Structure 1
Amino acid sequence: GLSALYEGTRAWLNIPLAVIDFETTGRDAESDRIIEIGIVGIDEGVIRFREGLLVDPEMLIPEDAIKVHGITNEEVAGAPKFHELLPHLGELLKGRIPVAYNAPFDRAFLLEELRRAGARIGGGDFVLDAKAVPAFDKELVWIDPLVWARELLTTLRQRTLTAVTEHLGIPLENAHRAVGDAEATAHVLLRLASQLPEAYADLIRIQERHAAAHFRFRR
């Protein structure tokens, strides 16, 4: 559940946000792993920081994944493993509501990596604190600009991040690299903000309704 801070009428733009993007070894959160983390912090509608972290996935990156993001096995050799990055990740995400483009994908990967890391860390120093770090909360619905792009940009045939940024005139630098995609997602969200429900609770409630309707329509 959410703390009182985020409930009710509080405007979502006034809540600290963390836009998250992962590059991965593939599309299955259970069998694939994160190889790059991009996080962009937004405060009061302004981008405050951006950070990119390479991760050792503890498995080989398949060729078809390398073709998408260009991250090679050589690049991640010697990078920290996910569980080693967790304390730093917790600091970056602390007190920030998570945002991701096609959020179910990134959310599933994060929760699966947390599950693995929890098993790995055991009684170690780092405790997963979902109250302090909203992105670690299994129940939390992330803000997803893709859902809103589908609703608002009805003339677009494709709603990929590339198509949407192009349509909105937002430069997408380093597409399919985590920080580039996270930053582009941040700009999409801020560009659409004036057309979105103002209160955080309303934004999530209506977003969930749109997402469910889209899912039903697709099947």
Structure 2
Amino acid sequence: MTDTTAETNAEETPAPQPAELGGWRIAGLLSERAGVEVTMADIDELVAQEHLVVTGWFKRRPMYETAAALALDEDLVRGVVDERRAWEAASVPRDAAAERIGWHWRDIERMGAEGRITLGKGRRYLIADLEALAAEADGEQYITAQAAADVLEIRHPADWKYVEAAGWISPADTYEREVGRTRTVTVALYRLADVRAVRDMPGVDWEAVRGLPKGAVSPLREYAALAPTRAAVVKAFAQALADRHRTTVWAWNSPYSGGWELDWERVDGGPTEDEVLRELFADPVAATHASEITLCPAWGEVTRAARELLEPDVAVILDTETTDLDGQTVEVAVIDAATGKKLMDTLVKPTEPISDGARWVHGITDEMVADARPFEKVLPRLRQVTKGKIICSYNVVFDRGIVLGDIARAGKKPMHLEPQDSWFCLMEAYKDWTGAFRWLRLGGRHRALGDCESARKVLIRMSEGRGTTFTPTAPAPAQR
């Protein structure tokens, strides 16, 4: 009887565990205790949340304290597993993302690095962002010269070299491709929308180019021969304009129209558009290209506005992170537009939980904001740093709506935060500056301060004009 009881107790007593175990062994123990499959991704998350600690290394692999792992709350472990499963259901890895929307994996990596697609744990991409990208950003794919020639239905390289020589298009990026074991070649990549714009250029007899046999002379050769002459004439006129009026001039050869666009910084005393037009026709050489030069394009107005916003004490840049698309503020940041100095960066405690979708984007959890100040306590500082300034936001409709909604819920007065003319939308301006027909996503880090800094980079980029910048080189006229 005693021997049987001893045998039973021996069977029920678990074998002693080593003081430290590797990740997969720890995952196995937690799987048994919590009743769910725990993976190494879950172990890494438990470490990130400081519930587990790496106590040593064995063959370059981390080791964890066994007792600490067994002491973890089972609901905590299940919650981490559920979170990981939810993210995996809402996301796909890089190659699957590329296959899903028919883009190259290099485009997926680039869009993820720019913040255009949410890149989360396990280097997986949010499916909702991929679907939006496929619908909104067709044309932003990068393609090789061979693929670009195929889009134009012309020969590569025989005809394509003339397209580049004419100045109609230039590479958007390059990468190194291995050729053999010891050598690489530089491969140029072109933006698909730019290639399509070349295809739709007026005045080019594309039918005469398509289907040419090998060795036949390309009709595109004449455009390549003329292009440098036209470019030189336009640039000479732009420099002369800058010198005459002591102002900055921008000249851009638009791939969309095939012509040149010209604008300049407005200074006291001119010049006006009419004055520049008269000067253009008065120049016997530049006048021959007048029909191919557009004055004062939309991007010029945006550039001048951006330069004004970057002046000292004129503007600030604001960004919010929220509980949901139409939710409440969980983080708000404000920086000075001119200097980039941080004026405000704080978490905010909302009155509703943070949605899974929002948390996957900005990484802010309910626990992170549990001890933060509510919006009504943050509002005085927000009013202080924005008072008397133009409030720039990458998406004014979103950020202004969130701020005003929180003010209303707090029962406070919006004051200068309410009027539309207190705000400036950088996304709308950037759309006009690039000539795009859709909004462009901001390549930020999905945290308020990081997005403010990314938005300021967009503002600076717009302030630099398009194409080539010409500044006065001739000495100012002597004063009498």
**TM-score w.r.t. structure 1 length?**
0.65
| Distance across 2 between alignment mates of 1:71 and 1:11 | 34
Q: 1:176 is matched with which residue: 446, 465, 468?
A: 446
SS of the counterpart of 1:161?
coil
Q: Specify every segment of 5 or more residues in structure 1 that has no aligned partner in the other structure, as ranges.
A: 1-8, 122-126, 131-135, 163-171, 197-219
Paired residues for 1:67-146 under 5 Å? 67-117=360-410, 119=411, 128-130=414-416, 136-140=417-421, 142-146=423-427
Contact map agreement 1:24 1:33 (CA 8 A) in 2? yes
Alignment partner, residue 206 of structure 1: none
| Distance across 1 between alignment mates of 2:414 and 2:459 | 28
Residue 25 of structure 1: how far off its partner (Å): 0.8
Residue 194 of structure 1: how far off its partner (Å): 3.6
SS of the counterpart of 1:140?
helix
Residue 155 of structure 1: how far off its partner (Å): 7.0
Query: Is 2:320 the counterpart of 1:22?
Result: yes
Contact map agreement 2:431 2:438 (CA 8 A) in 1? no
Q: 2:459 is matched with which residue: 189, 204, 208?
A: 189
Contact map agreement 2:344 2:382 (CA 8 A) in 1? no
Change (3 A) 1:138 1:62: same
Contact map agreement 2:335 2:343 (CA 8 A) in 1? yes
Alignment partner, residue 147 of structure 1: 428
Change (3 A) 1:158 1:18: closer
| Distance across 2 between alignment mates of 1:84 and 1:50 | 16
Contact map agreement 2:343 2:385 (CA 8 A) in 1? no
| Distance across 2 between alignment mates of 1:157 and 1:94 | 31
Equivalent AA in structure 2 for residue 180 of structure 1: G
Q: 2:341 is matched with which residue: 40, 45, 48?
A: 48
SS of the counterpart of 2:352?
coil
Aligned Cα root-mean-square deviation (Å): 2.6
SS of the counterpart of 1:47?
coil
Q: Specify every segment of 5 or more residues in structure 2 that has no aligned partner in the other structure, as ranges.
A: 1-304, 467-480
| Distance across 2 between alignment mates of 1:149 and 1:128 | 27
Residue 157 of structure 1: how far off its partner (Å): 8.4
Residue 64 of structure 1: how far off its partner (Å): 1.6
Equivalent AA in structure 2 for residue 153 of structure 1: T
Change (3 A) 1:140 1:148: closer
Change (3 A) 1:13 1:64: closer
Residue 70 of structure 1: how far off its partner (Å): 0.5
Equivalent AA in structure 1 for residue 331 of structure 2: E
Contact map agreement 1:69 1:176 (CA 8 A) in 2? yes
| Distance across 2 between alignment mates of 1:65 and 1:184 | 19
Of the structure 1 ranges 62-71 and 138-147, higher mean CA displacement relative to structure 2 is found in 138-147
| Distance across 2 between alignment mates of 1:149 and 1:129 | 28
Residue 89 of structure 1: how far off its partner (Å): 1.4
SS of the counterpart of 2:457?
helix
CA-to-aligned-CA distance 1:55-88 (integer Å, 9 cap, x gap): 0011111112111111001000010000011111
| Distance across 2 between alignment mates of 1:128 and 1:108 | 11
Count of residues in correspondence between the two structures: 160
Change (3 A) 1:194 1:153: same
Contact map agreement 2:428 2:439 (CA 8 A) in 1? no
Query: Is 2:458 the counterpart of 1:160?
Result: no
| Distance across 2 between alignment mates of 1:142 and 1:155 | 22
Alignment partner, residue 330 of structure 2: 35
Equivalent AA in structure 2 for residue 71 of structure 1: I
Equivalent AA in structure 2 for residue 40 of structure 1: I
| Distance across 2 between alignment mates of 1:140 and 1:155 | 24
Residue 156 of structure 1: how far off its partner (Å): 9.9
SS of the counterpart of 1:90?
helix
Equivalent AA in structure 1 for residue 335 of structure 2: V
Identity of aligned residues (%): 31
Residue 103 of structure 1: how far off its partner (Å): 1.2
